[in-house]
Amino acid sequence: MNEQLQKIASETPTVLTEGARLTRKLASDNIELAERNEALERELTIHKLAMRMQERGLEPGMELGEKVAMLRDVDPAKLAGIEAAVEMSAGGFKLASLHIEEDLTSRAETQTKSPGELGSSAHYDRLDNIVRSI
């Protein structure tokens, strides 16, 4: 029994050294994998954001690849804010439009009036009609 204890005691420093080396290697691998994971998640977020911008019609003059390249240059801390702004944007469609139907007689009347007469009630009635049509 004494011999077994001596054998175990003599192997203990080797086992501890090997265990410490293996632990350091695994910790290093974990750090490397975490960094790679973070980079891949950022790239995925950038691609999703660029596709969402494309769907919403934002930056219509840019291709998808150009949007991805532009977003890669953005500070990572600001990417979440841009993502929120894209989600809040109403891009790609009109919320309202303004169209004024004006015949030639009303234009001629407006052009011949003096500056004091331009504030007449007829002028304000047209403005009210425009506001109500929106």
Q: Kindly state whether residues 78 and 114 are assigned to the same domain.
A: no
Domain-located, residue 96: no
Q: Kindly state whether residues 14 and 51 are assigned to the same domain.
A: yes
Domain-located, residue 116: yes
Supply the range of the domain harboring residue 117. Answer: 104-133
Task: Report pLDDT for 44.
Answer: 96
Task: Report pLDDT for 6.
Answer: 84
Cβ atoms of 35 and 28 closer than 8 Å: no
Cβ atoms of 69 and 100 closer than 8 Å: no
Q: Kindly state whether residues 61 and 109 are assigned to the same domain.
A: no
Q: Which ranges constitute the DSSP H helices of the chain?
A: 2-56, 64-72, 76-88, 104-112, 121-133
Count structural domains, the chain. 2
Domain-located, residue 83: yes
Task: Report pLDDT for 51.
Answer: 94
Task: Report pLDDT for 36.
Answer: 97
Residues of the chain with pLDDT under 50: 114-120, 123, 134
Q: Kindly state whether residues 7 and 72 are assigned to the same domain.
A: yes
